[in-house]
Amino acid sequence: MRRFAVHPAERRDVKFIVDNWMLMAVALASGAMLFWPMVAKGGRMGQLSAAGAVQLINREKAVVIDINEPAEFAAGHVVGARNVPLGQLEQQLPNTVKNKALPLVIVCATGSRSSRALAVAKKLGYEQAQVLGGGLTAWKEASLPLEKT
């Protein structure tokens, strides 16, 4: 039977890993924790933070579409937002925002209805449509201004 010799440098590498297994475990765990937010965000693609929405509005002239019912909209909405209730979105959005190349920020009260509105907007050809994650609640928590009508 033929034996293969292990090079001394390879023995040192294995010995390092065996001797420092806790260090390696901590390194792997911290790497996983750093990577997790990117993986978790994958399920919420198209959602913006309040700060991200402000940047999009200011830098790229995004149009804010509030899909709340008129009474909710009147109680408080993002400054400059246009109200298109979710039930009327498919009919009214093309008349409200004629330029489909403009970015849209879709807002509802809590962010729960916005994903349906995003699907409708994408179907209508608004490829740059995004959802404000957390909705108007997140906007208020970020201490951003509201207007009432």
Structure token digits, residue 125: 């050809």
Tokens of 102: 């403009």
Q: Which residue segment(s) compose the domain that 32 sits in?
A: 8-42
Single pTM value for the model: 0.70
Mean pLDDT of 97-107: 96
Same domain, 55 and 71: yes
Query: pLDDT at position 9, please?
Result: 66
Mean pLDDT of 25-43: 77
Residue 33 and residue 52 in one domain: no
Give me the number of domains the chain comprises.
Answer: 2
**65/115 same-domain check:** yes
In whole numbers, what is the pLDDT of the chain averaged over residues?
A: 88
Pick the residue with more confidence: 34 or 118? 118
Contact 66, 84 (CB under 8 A): yes
Residue 43 has pLDDT above 60, yes or no: no
Using the predicted structure, report yes or no on whether residue 138 has a pLDDT greater than 90: yes
pLDDT, position 41: 52
Asked if 64 and 12 sit in the same domain, the reply is no
Q: Is residue 62 located within the same domain as residue 120? A: yes
Cβ neighbours of residue 79 under 8 Å, at least 6 residues apart?
145, 146, 147
